[in-house]
A and B are shown apart, each in its own frame.
Chain A
Amino acid sequence: MSEVTEAGPLWAALAPVALLALATVGAAVAHTQAARARGEAALSGVGLPFVESARLLRQRRRVTVAADRVLWQVAIGGLPVVAVLMAVVVPVGPVVLVDSPVGVVWFNAMDVMLWALWWLAGWGPNSAHSLMAGHRFLGLALAYELPLMFALTSPAIAAHSLRVADLAAAQQGLWFAVWMPVAFLVFLGAAVAFASWGPFAVAAHADLAGGVLAETSGVDRWLVLVGRHLVLAAAALMAVPLFLGGGAGPLLGPVAWTVVKAVVVLAGLELVAGRVPLVRPERFAEVGWMVLLPATVLQMLVAAVVALGGAS
């Protein structure tokens, strides 16, 4: 058992703000790249998240005919909330908000929440393109989820624990990312997929007129866009104790190392995802089931054999 202390309620109030700050860095990276791709000065992208936020927060909300307002609002408001709930089990250095003995499973449960939220975001506006995008995401969700589950299980097996702090502590010798590359890559891919971003942006992509974003406007649209970056930020933060040795590192303290690693992972996710085109959704389902799922099961077998060898 590794030592982490639970932070007090004041820190809990700060946590969403801190995650939003991390997500803002991610959004700035994404916008910088987009600005470069458009041939504009790259640095102009840094301010774009703020400009876009100011624009959307002043914009009047547009509502479609016969929209399911309740479920739509649940989905839109739920995205940022679930992202924060994902992050609460992640220890930042020696402190964690919720020191859950089953933190890894909790993170996975919040991922599953996103199944419901993306579908509801598609259902809510009573619009064909949104509904198709929501259906499409749910159809692929199992192809994302099963490899992710095994990718999460592998480090948990190696650490003999489901507690996130124990996973970080179990990597004193060698990062899990080094000897569990398949699980690490699948985890990163699933993070992108559940944020519906880049190559896996099936719930909100231009090929379906924006999907769930087709009818959102004003503060609703802002919440969905911010929610995506928050989910990516929460997943990047989780990758640190799960695969990158937690706060371990020379010179800087554990808090600083956790943040540095999370920013690097997040920037990587935003950059790679921004450069790769949409993977054709009807083709990816088979890849998920036939390639990624067996690969992660084998990864889990490797982790189990190593863990058993270490125990005896």
Chain B
Amino acid sequence: MTEVVFWVAAVVSVAAGVAVFRTDSMARATYALAASFVAVGVILLAFDLDYLGVIVILMMIMEMAIMALFMIMLMGMNPALMPMSMVHSKRTATAIAVVVFLGLATAALAIPWPGRSGAPAADLTRSLGEAVMGSKMLVMLTISPVLFATIVGTLVLGHPRDRYQRYGDDLDRARPDDPIEGGVGR
């Protein structure tokens, strides 16, 4: 059963990956990519990596749903609402793809892979949580503020209206001057 699921999901993920570049619509390309990632999530589920599998499906659908908006918004030069090619710099891309594929395939076949040592934990979700929250906590503590600062920084730089426009030159307006009022009245 696991093998059947693995092979079906593997074929779907590769086929959907190919579809990303064969289709002529930004929306279809984005959701083909989402389908490919979901198939990868299913493979993880078939390996009993329940938490990782479900999280991959959750995160990838979320990301692709938002990415589709950005792709359609930002493809201004080549309107994403019209049919368009999903590939560019074909010759370079083909050369890189062939070289990388040959390199990885050779490595996969030529490397004498070690056999598995040790057994998986009984509760993989718990051991994942303990790894992230225990021995890798320092990494998480470092990365989280950096990621958060990046998000805030990008928003501050990207937002067309700054706080001086909202609250006045001396930031002394009681209520912000927004084109569309928010629900909290702040």
Contact of A287 among B25, B34, B51, B184 (CB under 8 A): B184
Instruction: Say yes or no for A54: interface residue by CB 8 A criterion.
Output: no
Contact of B61 among A74, A106, A116, A285 (CB under 8 A): A116
B180 neighbours in A (Cβ, 8 Å): 282
Residues of B within 8 A of A (CB-CB), count: 26
Instruction: Say yes or no for A170: interface residue by CB 8 A criterion.
Output: no
Contact surface of B with A, Cβ cutoff 8 Å: 25, 27-28, 31, 34, 50-51, 54-55, 57-58, 61-62, 64-66, 68-69, 123, 125, 180-184, 186
Question: Could you jot down 20 A-B contacts, CB within 8 Å?
Answer: A68-B27, A68-B28, A70-B28, A100-B54, A102-B54, A105-B54, A105-B55, A106-B54, A112-B65, A116-B31, A116-B61, A116-B64, A123-B27, A135-B69, A138-B65, A141-B65, A282-B180, A286-B182, A286-B184, A287-B182
Instruction: For the complex, give the distance between the alpha carbons of A235 and B39 in Å.
Output: 25
Ranked nearest first, the 5 interchain pairs of A and B with the lowest CB-CB distance are: A286-B182, A283-B183, A109-B58, A287-B183, A286-B183
Instruction: For the complex, give the distance between the alpha carbons of A269 and B25 in Å.
Output: 38
Of A74, A109, A141, A282, most B-chain CB atoms within 10 Å:
A109
Contact surface of A with B, Cβ cutoff 8 Å: 68, 70-71, 74, 100-102, 105-106, 108-109, 112-113, 115-116, 119-120, 123, 135, 138, 141, 145, 162, 280, 282-287, 290-291
B64 neighbours in A (Cβ, 8 Å): 116
In contact, A119 and B65 (Cβ under 8 angstroms): yes
A101 neighbours in B (Cβ, 8 Å): 50-51, 123, 125
In contact, B65 and A115 (Cβ under 8 angstroms): yes
A141 neighbours in B (Cβ, 8 Å): 65
Instruction: Name the distance in Å between B58's Cβ and chain A's nearest Cβ.
Output: 4
Instruction: For the complex, give the distance between the alpha carbons of A55 and B184 in Å.
Output: 43
Instruction: Name the distance in Å between B29's Cβ and chain A's nearest Cβ.
Output: 11
In contact, A116 and B58 (Cβ under 8 angstroms): no
A-B pair number, CB within 8 angstroms: 77
Contact of B182 among A108, A113, A138, A285 (CB under 8 A): A285
Nearest CB in chain A to that of B62: its residue: A112
Instruction: For the complex, give the distance between the alpha carbons of A162 and B55 in Å.
Output: 13
In contact, B125 and A162 (Cβ under 8 angstroms): yes
Given contacts A145-B62, A283-B181, 13 further A-B contacts (CB under 8 A): A68-B28, A101-B123, A102-B50, A105-B58, A115-B61, A116-B64, A119-B68, A119-B69, A123-B68, A280-B183, A282-B182, A285-B182, A290-B182
Instruction: For the complex, give the distance between the alpha carbons of A283 and B182 in Å.
Output: 5
In contact, B181 and A102 (Cβ under 8 angstroms): no
Instruction: For the complex, give the distance between the alpha carbons of A102 and B128 in Å.
Output: 13
In contact, A285 and B125 (Cβ under 8 angstroms): no
Nearest CB in chain A to that of B25: its residue: A68
Instruction: For the complex, give the distance between the alpha carbons of A101 and B123 in Å.
Output: 9
Instruction: For the complex, give the distance between the alpha carbons of A280 and B185 in Å.
Output: 14
A123 neighbours in B (Cβ, 8 Å): 27, 68
Contact of B66 among A113, A138, A291 (CB under 8 A): A138
Instruction: Name the distance in Å between B75's Cβ and chain A's nearest Cβ.
Output: 15
In contact, A74 and B31 (Cβ under 8 angstroms): yes
In contact, B183 and A71 (Cβ under 8 angstroms): no
Instruction: For the complex, give the distance between the alpha carbons of A290 and B181 in Å.
Output: 14
A290 neighbours in B (Cβ, 8 Å): 182, 184, 186
B183 neighbours in A (Cβ, 8 Å): 280, 283-287
Instruction: For the complex, give the distance between the alpha carbons of A116 and B28 in Å.
Output: 12
Instruction: Name the distance in Å between A149's Cβ and chain B's nearest Cβ.
Output: 10
Instruction: Name the distance in Å between B24's Cβ and chain A's nearest Cβ.
Output: 11
B51 neighbours in A (Cβ, 8 Å): 101-102, 105, 162
B61 neighbours in A (Cβ, 8 Å): 109, 112-113, 115-116
Instruction: For the complex, give the distance between the alpha carbons of A212 and B77 in Å.
Output: 28
Instruction: Name the distance in Å between A161's Cβ and chain B's nearest Cβ.
Output: 9
In contact, A291 and B184 (Cβ under 8 angstroms): yes
A138 neighbours in B (Cβ, 8 Å): 65-66, 69
Instruction: For the complex, give the distance between the alpha carbons of A138 and B66 in Å.
Output: 8
In contact, A286 and B186 (Cβ under 8 angstroms): yes
